[in-house]
Each structure stands twice: as C-alpha cells, then as structure tokens.
C-alpha cells in the first residue's frame, strides 16, 4: 500500500512595492510586490497539452524504504496516468478531476473512488488540479484567489495568504529568475505536522521548464515520509495511450 502514498499525501510579512534590491546569501533579489510575484508565477505556468515522463522514485519512512520506476502521462487538466514498476508492474493508476482509480497486479487489489477520502486524511480538500500543480512545479492554490504577503526568504520570494486557512499555514517560495517554485510548504504547528515540496532543479527543453527533481518531506510527531522524484526523460505534446481497465477478480480496498 505504501506505493500509492506518493499520490495521496499531496494533499504558503510585508508586501513591498519598492524597486530596491535585497542581498540574500550570494543572490541579489529585486524587491517586488506580492501581486507582481504572483502574476509572474502564473505566467510561468506549464503550457503544453501533454506530458510523457519516465521517473525514478525513492520512498523512505520510519518503517520502510523502497525505490521503483514510474511512467507518468498527463493530459493537462484531464487525466494523470501512472504505472509503477520494480522488475514487475507494482501498480497502475488513473486520476481525473472526478475520481481516483488504482490497481496492483502484484497484490491483486484495486481502489475506485473519488477525492473525498483525502479530506479526512489531510484535513483539507484536495483535488486533481492541486496534484497536477504539484507535479508541474506550480502553487497548490490559485495565487490570484487570495491576497498575498511577500518577504524575501531562502533566496526566494516567499508568498503567503494574508488570511491563512484555519487548519494550516501555506507558504510558496518563488524562484526570482524563472518564477517557478523553489518550494511550497503546508504547516500545522498545533498538530506538529509539516509538508514540504521542494524543487531543487528544473529540466529545460525548448524553453519549457519541468521539475527535474522533486523532494517531498512530510513530518507528523514521530513519523516521517521522504519521497524523492527524479525525471529521467520527458516529452511534450505527444499522442498518449492512457487506456485503463481494472482486471476482474481483484479485491476492492477502502482507503
């Protein structure tokens, strides 16, 4: 069951309009308003119709450690198709805005449901768009929907909603050069919970930026989960085969 954790765990001061610059470490960052940073981040959003990527995924927790390969196909705003292998096929999954489907040829089990179970798991509504945004290096929330504060932290523009959600705090660290994300964080101090999604490096192909590495770090009390994703190859705007059929005879599970 740990093999699907990657896909169900998913689920950011002062605004300045000055044109001065701030030295943070070795990087000189021009101070911008929160509105302008958000606008530039949105302008840098992924604009291809499809993604066909081969990934290497390493999973580690306080209970186990495993690595496997994943073929990921995305038809933007419509479907995320996944196939995990470790010598043999470990799982297949198809996620749409309406439902989540998953089956394991290895364990002969399947799941066919919606995103409702994620709300109870994470304490907040999680949807298809947020999962897609995470995989593409984009903010988990619409930065235009809420007024943001901005400060310069960790060689990034740190955006955070002026009115944080009641259950947790959100932080988005925007790269000052290409305006994709360096990191995004969800923090619940009361429950000692923290989720950091870090983007150390982007793959650039024909001026398109796609996360080359994603590091996911989740902590809760004495539990931790670390998931490292490395993009081995990626193609855009290709014809995708996203057929998905749950085999008969498998046992349905409830998550």
In this structure, what CATH number is given to the domain that contains residue 210?
A: 2.50.20.10
Rounded Cα distance, 226 and 43, in Å:
30
Chain position carrying tokens 């989960």: 225
> What pLDDT score was predicted for residue 27?
63
> What pLDDT score was predicted for residue 125?
57
Residue 93 domain-assigned (yes or no)? yes
> What pLDDT score was predicted for residue 23?
41
Containing structural domain, residue 24: 2-237
Residue 53 domain-assigned (yes or no)? yes
Residue 21, classed as helix, strand or coil, is strand
Chain position carrying tokens 């998953």: 102
Residue 255 domain-assigned (yes or no)? no
Structure tokens at 254: 């409830």
Residue 117 domain-assigned (yes or no)? yes
Cα 233 from chain centroid (whole Å): 18
pLDDT (tens, 9 = 90+) of the chain, 255 residues, equals 443 343 433 333 222 333 344 444 456 899 999 999 999 999 999 999 999 999 999 988 888 888 999 999 999 999 999 999 998 999 999 999 999 898 999 899 998 988 765 554 444 456 899 989 999 999 998 898 889 999 999 999 999 999 998 888 999 999 999 999 999 999 988 888 888 999 999 999 888 999 999 998 888 888 888 889 999 999 999 999 999 999 999 999 876
Can you list the positions of beta strands (E) in the chain?
21-24, 27-30, 50-61, 65-75, 79-86, 88-95, 100-104, 109-113, 148-153, 156-161, 169-174, 181-188, 193-205, 208-220, 223-236, 251-252
Residue 243 domain-assigned (yes or no)? no
Cα 127 from chain centroid (whole Å): 12
- What does pTM read for this prediction? 0.83
> What pLDDT score was predicted for residue 26?
55
Residue 47 domain-assigned (yes or no)? yes
- Count the domains in the chain: 1
């Amino acid at each position: 069951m740990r093999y699907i954790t990657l896909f169900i765990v998913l689920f950011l001061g002062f605004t300045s309009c000055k044109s001065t610059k701030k030295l943070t470490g070795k990087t000189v960052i021009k101070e911008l308003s929160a509105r302008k940073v958000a606008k530039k981040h949105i302008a840098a959003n992924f604009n291809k119709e499809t993604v066909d990527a081969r990934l290497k995924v390493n999973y580690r927790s306080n209970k186990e450690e495993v690595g496997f390969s994943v073929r990921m196909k995305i038809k933007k705003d419509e479907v995320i198709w996944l196939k995990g292998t470790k010598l043999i096929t470990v799982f297949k999954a198809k996620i749409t805005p309406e439902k989540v489907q998953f089956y394991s040829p290895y364990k002969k089990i399947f799941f066919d449901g919606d995103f409702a179970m994620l709300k109870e798991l994470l304490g907040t509504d999680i949807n298809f768009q947020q999962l897609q945004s995470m995989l593409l290096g984009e903010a988990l929330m619409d930065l235009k929907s809420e007024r943001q504060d901005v400060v310069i932290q960790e060689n990034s523009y740190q955006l955070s909603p002026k009115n944080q959600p009641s259950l947790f705090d959100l932080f988005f660290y925007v790269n000052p050069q290409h305006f994709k994300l360096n990191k995004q964080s969800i923090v619940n101090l009361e429950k000692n919970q923290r989720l950091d999604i870090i983007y150390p490096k982007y793959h650039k192909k024909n001026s398109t930026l796609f996360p080359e590495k994603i590091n996911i770090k989740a902590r809760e009390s004495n539990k931790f989960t670390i998931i490292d994703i490395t993009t081995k190859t990626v193609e855009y705007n290709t014809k995708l085969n996203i057929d998905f059929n749950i085999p008969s005879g498998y046992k349905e599970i409830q998550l």
